Structure 1
């Protein structure tokens, strides 16, 4: 009996189809279950585009003086959604694809991730509705999100415990950061239950600096020097463990200091100068690290350059943090760089690194060349333009509104372009005809 050539199981027929044109085959949801990255990245891209469109609409409505009902303060809602809305969904795709290789374990069946991912995506839809209806609705949705991530984090912890690989440092660090994410998400649900904006903002800061950013630092520490050394002959994969824990601890320190800003504002001038004393040397260390990992040499290789471009924003963000805190110390809090340092880190480092990592994984695990072709390269630079516009908008208040609108437009164009392009791949067989 001849097998159906457009099901994941029919690898021989798929190989023949791949030689013709897999993009001519119909897009089928069943293919999302062929590999963890397909399912998780597809759901994450839906969340990413929905978040971008939602925030673009909010900014446009604000510029037109349109009144909208908010059950949750708008800035707190924006911070929560953009911090923990789509990033953890992307984490699932990466960690349950690369994680088994790190740990020497068999590949993960994507179906086993479906319940947790569905809870998270569905929960965020409810949260969005709750933002504009009632805080109790947002709380219910947030509880679904927290439950979904808790189950997935426990699943990764179980993988770590089953592993006998000698080197499990990065996996352990990711598991620890994921645990902080569990705390942050449940803390968010509690803050909505008691209708506390202060607790909600605190939970968001814990989620950003204690969960999201450390996972990126851990992956950057493991993957950027490895990719650079594999692409540039005379580079080595230099990644001492002290550097990993320094990066993670700096983010955790930022979590504590950000929470202190919320609870004890205005903080003392002495604390501001202590922040500068930590952030400025760290910014120089990150810049040196980018050069040590081959920033200049990698510029000829687009995909590696994309990773380095994201990492460069991390150094820039800490430099901007240092300048902003110095201004606050000198002017008793009257002057600062506003949200420029934060957006340099979130949109620049997190956004660009996510873009590069997911592009690389989607290409390699899609049976395609592991490279940034012209469409991917163009989308990446549109995203970079969005980051630059948003940072300048924060520093230049007089032009904030038009620059911010341009920024969200560019961000939405880049993210929607990525989602459409790679989403088409996720619902079709691999180009090389192999399973997965």
Structure 2
């Protein structure tokens, strides 16, 4: 019996999505709860980051990288044919991520260099692991994947340096971090969304299928990257705003080519299209905020972060968790409720940026809805992540 219990306890360390999706969702709930308490109760944090900067940092460089790592380290074995990262190496990666979260929260109590160093090791290790797996398999077409991780690492270090008072351009770290994540999402989305949609529609004998990837997709992604990089280094440039509006139009067409409106019967699939839609909205709002005063920049940023990142992470985590634990790829009422909550959280957060007189109640409501969406994931999907595959129990 002891041996069986030990094997069951090790299930979580057999593949990366299990511990890293659980860690990402738990931290998403906890970090947002802390942020709501900071806003409403004036909670003080023992961090060198100002409270708003800690919130941004832990969403962008804490929550998101854990989800990215869980996805990439689960997908790479399918791309390379190599065994997945598991056991002690996986435990080591998760430990590094946890250490980073502790270091950032308590950085005011630590030597100056320690918070930066400890929080940087996870992304460095992840980038090296991803590169190693791809190179050893000779799977060079996927060498693009470590690039956004490296950029995210640089962006993370820049945010730490700014918090320490080093003279770096204001906000460049967070802008670069957002750009790295949005670029990675746009590349991965182009692989999984049309493929999943095509398979689902073919099963239903649909006549119109998603368009195949081609030069148009490459132009759309490149334009988006160019516009976002312009925003990173020249945030007030008219050219950056114009390119972002062009990128929004191109990526809107790209999304339409994936036939998302035909997937409304299956929320597990439709939510992926919704996640990419937020990239389109975010790019459009960001371009508009640069070119005029009618759109506040925080509205655009939260369309890209709470909207695109939050929705895509929740969508991918739920789909991967179901598929890789041997369950049916279908979003039931509980999962659909989580999707609705993240959508409403995004809408209320954007509304808070646009309606200053209602900022306090709207931002609190948005936080509660975000906590609800990822809290549902923890409660409903957590047991799946800890248990063996169901198809191996039959």
Scaled by the length of structure 1, what TM-score is found? Answer: 0.82
Is residue 31–residue 58 contact of structure 2 (8 Å, CA) maintained in 1?
Answer: yes
Separation in structure 2 between the aligned mates of residue 7 and residue 356 of structure 1, nearest angstrom: 31
Q: What's the CA shift for 1:389?
A: 0.4
**Cross-structure match for 2:57:** 80
Q: Distance between the aligned counterparts of 1:123 and 1:189, measured in 2?
A: 12
SS of equivalent residue, structure 2 residue 234: helix
CA distance, structure 2, for counterparts of residue 311 and residue 109 of structure 1: 30
2-structure distance, mates of 1:184, 1:384 = 27
Q: Distance in 2 between matches of 1:127 and 1:105?
A: 34
> Is the Cα contact below 8 Å between 1:389 and 1:404 reproduced in 2?
yes
Structure with the greater alpha carbon radius of gyration: 1
| Partner Cα distance (1:179, 1:197) in 2 | 22
What is the CA-CA distance between 1:34 and the residue it aligns to?
A: 2.2
Give me the whole-angstrom Cα distance separating, in 2, the residues matched to 1:415 and 1:138: 33
Distance in structure 2 (CA, Å) of the matches to 1:241 and 1:121: 41
What does residue 216 of structure 1 align with? 185
Q: Is the 8 A contact 2:46 2:105 kept in 1?
A: no
CA positional deviation for 1:139: 4.9
Matched, 1:52 2:35: no
Q: 1:189 to 1:88 in 2, by over 3 A?
A: same
Matched, 1:207 2:177: yes
SS of the residue 1:300 aligns to: coil
User: What is the aligned length?
Assistant: 389
**What displacement does 1:245 show?**
6.2
2:275–2:308: 8 Å Cα contact kept in structure 1?
A: yes
- Closer, same or farther in 2 for the Cα pair 1:215/1:111, shift >3 Å? farther
- Decide whether the 8 Å contact of 2:352 with 2:359 is kept in 1: yes
- What is the alpha-carbon distance in structure 2 between the residues aligned to residue 242 and residue 287 of structure 1? 12
In the alignment, what sits opposite 1:176?
Answer: 147
* Mapped pair 1:106 → 2:83: yes
Q: How does 1:219-368 map to 2 (within 5 A)?
A: 219-233=188-202, 234-236=208-210, 238-240=212-214, 243-244=217-218, 246-247=220-221, 250-251=224-225, 253-261=227-235, 267=236, 271-272=237-238, 274-328=239-293, 336-368=295-327
Q: SS of 2:94's equivalent?
A: helix
Q: Provide the aligned C-alpha RMSD in A.
A: 2.5
Alpha-carbon spacing, 1:237–1:101, altered in 2? closer, same or farther (3 Å): farther
Q: Following TM superposition, by how much is the alpha carbon of 1:291 offset from its aligned partner in structure 2, in angstroms?
A: 1.4
1:87 CA drift (Å): 0.9
Aligned to 1:432, the other structure's residue is in SS state helix
The partner residue of 2:104 within 112, 127, 152 is 127
Residue pair 1:221, 1:244 contacting (<8 A) in 2 also: no
Residue 25 of structure 2 contacts residue 378 of structure 2 at CA under 8 Å; is this kept in 1?
yes
SS in 2 for 1:108: coil
Alignment gaps of 5+ in structure 2: 203-207
* Structure 1 unaligned blocks of 5 or more: 9-27, 262-266, 329-334
Separation in 1 of the partners of 2:4 and 2:48? 50
Query: Is the alpha carbon distance of 1:314 and 1:231 closer, same or farther for their aligned partners in structure 2, counting shifts above 3 Å?
Result: same
Residues 394, 188 of structure 1: alpha-carbon distance in 2 compared, 3 angstrom cutoff = closer
* Cα deviation 1:408-427 (Å, max 9, x = unaligned): 01101111121222112222
Partner of 1:39: 19
CA deviation map 1:16-48 (0-9, x unaligned): xxxxxxxxxxxx643211222112212222322
Instruction: Indicate the residue corresponding to 2:205 in structure 1.
Output: none
TM-score under structure 2 normalisation?
0.90
